[in-house]
Amino acid sequence: MIIKKIFVLFFSIIIFVLLDTKEIFEEKISFDSCYLPTKKVALTFDDGPHPYFTESILKILTEYNIKATFFLVGIQAKKYPYLVKLLSESNHCKIGNHTFSHKNLTKLSEKEIFNELYLTYQILNSITGGKNIIPYFRPPGGHYNNNVLKVADKLNFKMVLWSIFTNDHSKKITEKELINTIIYSLSSDKEIILLHSGSKTTLNCLPKIIEILKERNYEFVSVDEILEDETYFVN
């Protein structure tokens, strides 16, 4: 009888210790997850839609269930409206304005700048009905001046540049160089990475880039989400 009591007592202690350990373990998990920093990254793809690569980029974004932003050129959008529609219908994309003909806006008059932005706005909206179009533009080559900002302001467009320049549009860049550029450039909890829709190198290593950013706890968001109310001009 005593042996039985001792056994029950011993068994109860074991159960108690196990339950207690579980509680501590669970508390630790919730404690850790509370203090995980929120890091955000916006992948941006310029110069599209591209007849061969845009659809493949979208497929990768969908497979990884992440978001990205495409800055589209008006001329390209006019040529490939079905790709604009495809991007707009996806839950993984937001679409920004990258001017009509990809000219250096600082070389144009105010009227010409207006046309570059407004014409593209009209094309994108007529194709998509405004779905997933964001009021952001990126000036080609990152070139802007006061006239550009003044016209953009009239149209209620906000300018967005980037925090990481990858040089992925260079034909000479290798996959390893592109990946290393991104790894060594990550310096902030909020990053906007400039990539291009027409780069085969970018398309080939996009899964690797996504995996590296995921490993580093970056959440993939569109540029409008990352900027929210902040002014985010990078020179």
Residues 6+ apart with CB under 8 A from 102: 47, 73, 75, 140
Choose the catalytic residue: 143, 196, 224, 229: 196
Q: Tell me the closest approach of the beta carbon of residue 223 to Zn ion, in angstroms.
A: 15
Q: Which residue of the chain is nearest Zn ion when measured via CB?
A: 46
Q: Do residues 46 and 138 touch, judged by C-beta distance below 8 A?
A: yes
Q: How far apart are CA 30 and CA 18, in angstroms?
A: 18
Choose the catalytic residue: 20, 32, 46, 47: 46
Nearer to Zn ion, 47 or 116 (CB): 47
Nearer to Zn ion, 21 or 167 (CB): 167
Nearer to Zn ion, 164 or 218 (CB): 164
Q: Would you call 46 a catalytic residue per the annotation?
A: yes
Q: Tell me the closest approach of the beta carbon of residue 108 to Zn ion, in angstroms.
A: 15
Cβ neighbours around 25 below 10 Å, total: 9
Q: How far apart are CA 234 and CA 226, in angstroms?
A: 14
Interaction site with Zn ion (CB under 5 A): 46-47, 140
Nearer to Zn ion, 12 or 170 (CB): 170
Q: Would you call 20 a catalytic residue per the annotation?
A: no
Q: Tell me the closest approach of the beta carbon of residue 169 to Zn ion, in angstroms.
A: 8
Q: Tell me the closest approach of the beta carbon of residue 102 to Zn ion, in angstroms.
A: 6
Q: In terms of Cα–Cα distance, which of 190, 111, 182 is closest to 147? A: 111
Q: Alpha-carbon dihedral of residues 113, 221, 94, 192, nearest 10 degrees?
A: 30
Q: Tell me the closest approach of the beta carbon of residue 138 to Zn ion, in angstroms.
A: 7
Nearer to Zn ion, 46 or 191 (CB): 46
**Catalytic positions:** 46, 196
